[in-house]
Structure 1
Amino acid sequence: VRGSIPFLWEQIVDLTYKPKFEIVRPEEAPQIAERHFLDLRKMYGSVLAVDLLNKHGGEGRLSDMFSNAMQPIVSEDLRYLHFDFTKICGHVHFERLSFLYDQIADFLVKNGYFLLNEESEKMEQLGVVRTNCIDCLDRTNITQSMIARKILELQLRRIGVFAAEETISSHPKLDRCFRILWANHGDDISIQYSGTAALKGDLVRSGQRRVQGILKDRYISFKRYYLNNFSDGTKQDAIDLLQGHYKVSVGGDITPPSQTGGLEAIASFPLALCLVLIGLLLTTMSLGQVGNDPRHLLFSVVWGSISVGIASFVRAKGRIFCNRPRLQLHDKPGY
Structure 2
Amino acid sequence: YLNHVKRIKCAKQETFTIYFNLLFLSSTAVVHGLQNEPYYKYVWNGKLLERVKDIVHHDWLTYIIYGFCGQSKLLIFGRPVLITLIARRSSKFAGTRFLKRGANCEGDVANEVETEQIIHDASVMSFTAGSYSSYVQVRGSVPLYWSQDISTMMPKPPIRLDQADPYAHVAALHFDQMLQRFGSPIIILNLVKKREKRKHEKILSEELYPAVTNLNQFLPPEHCIDYIAWDMARYTKSKLCNVLDRLSVIAENVVKRTGFFINRSDFYCHTLRPDDRWGDLGGHITFNGRVQTGVLRTNCVDCLDRTNTAQFMVGKCALAYQLYALGMIDKPKLQFDTDCVRLFEELYEDHGDTLSLQYGGSQLVHRVKTYRKIAPWTQHSKDIMQTLSRYYSNAFSDADRQDAINLFLQVFQPSESKPHLWELPTDFYLHQKNTMALPQERRSYTLWWTSGVLTYLPVPYDEVPCEETMKTVKVRRVNRFNEEIDTYTEFFRPFELTSFDETFCIAMTNSAWVFMPKTVGVDPSPFTVRKPDETGKSVLGSKSSKEETVLQRKTAASAPPPPSEEAISSSSEDDSEEDRDDDGSVSQRSTPIKLLTDSGESNRIHEPQQQTTKDPYGCNLAQLPAEEDLYIYKRQDKLASSSSSSSRAPVSIFSEDSVYAVSPPQSSADTHEALESHVLTGQGQARVLCREDVLMYREYVKNRYM
TM-score (norm 1): 0.71
Show the 5 A alignment for 1:7-26. 7-13=144-150, 14-26=152-164
State the secondary structure of the residue aligned to 2:215: coil
- Name the aligned partner's letter for residue 139 of structure 2: R
Equivalence for 2:704: none
Equivalence for 1:84: 231
Residues 1:60 and 1:116: Cα distance change in structure 2 (over 3 Å): same
Equivalence for 1:289: none
Match of 1:218 among 384, 387, 408: 384
Distance 1:136 1:91 in 2: 22
Show the 5 A alignment for 1:179-194. 179-194=345-360
Show the 5 A alignment for 1:34-73. 34-46=172-184, 47-55=186-194, 56=196, 57-73=199-215
Shift of 1:216: 0.8
Answer yes or no: is 1:110 the counterpart of 2:257: yes
Shift of 1:100: 3.9
Kept in 2, the 8 Å contact 1:240–1:246? The answer is yes
Shift of 1:125: 0.5
Kept in 2, the 8 Å contact 1:52–1:82? The answer is yes
Kept in 1, the 8 Å contact 2:244–2:372? The answer is no
State the secondary structure of the residue aligned to 2:380: helix
What RMSD in Å do the two structures reach over aligned CA positions?
A: 2.9
Kept in 1, the 8 Å contact 2:321–2:332? The answer is no
Q: Which structure has the higher relative contact order (CA within 8 Å, separation 6+)?
A: 1
Structure with higher helix content? 1
Kept in 1, the 8 Å contact 2:299–2:307? The answer is yes
State the Cα deviation string for residues 63-113 of structure 1 (Å, max 9, x = none).
110111111223432211101111122399894233244345334213210
State the Cα deviation string for residues 290-309 of structure 1 (Å, max 9, x = none).
xxxxxxxxxxxxxxxxxxxx
State the secondary structure of the residue aligned to 1:231: helix
Structure with higher strand content? 2
Distance 2:330 2:396 in 1: 53
Show the 5 A alignment for 1:69-218. 69-74=211-216, 75-77=221-223, 78-90=225-237, 95-103=242-250, 105-117=252-264, 121-164=288-331, 166-169=333-336, 172-201=338-367, 203=369, 208-218=374-384
Equivalence for 1:332: 432
State the secondary structure of the residue aligned to 2:214: coil
Shift of 1:194: 1.3
Match of 1:31 among 164, 169, 173: 169
Shift of 1:44: 0.3
Distance 2:418 2:235 in 1: 55
Show the 5 A alignment for 1:301-320. none
Kept in 2, the 8 Å contact 1:180–1:205? The answer is no
Kept in 1, the 8 Å contact 2:309–2:367? The answer is no
State the secondary structure of the residue aligned to 2:423: coil
Count residues with an aligned counterpart.
Answer: 268
Q: Which moved more, 1:100-109 or 1:229-238?
A: 100-109
Q: Which moved more, 1:26-35 or 1:66-75?
A: 26-35
Kept in 1, the 8 Å contact 2:235–2:242? The answer is no
Unpaired segments ≥5 residues, structure 1: 260-324
Unpaired segments ≥5 residues, structure 2: 1-137, 268-286, 437-706
| Larger Rg over CA atoms | 2
Kept in 1, the 8 Å contact 2:361–2:394? The answer is no
Match of 2:408 among 239, 242, 255: 242
- Name the aligned partner's letter for residue 214 of structure 1: H
Distance 2:373 2:353 in 1: 16
Residues 1:206 and 1:88: Cα distance change in structure 2 (over 3 Å): closer
State the Cα deviation string for residues 255-287 of structure 1 (Å, max 9, x = none).
73263xxxxxxxxxxxxxxxxxxxxxxxxxxxx
Shift of 1:196: 1.1
- Percent identity reads 27
TM-score (norm 2): 0.35
Kept in 2, the 8 Å contact 1:2–1:132? The answer is yes
Distance 1:193 1:199 in 2: 13
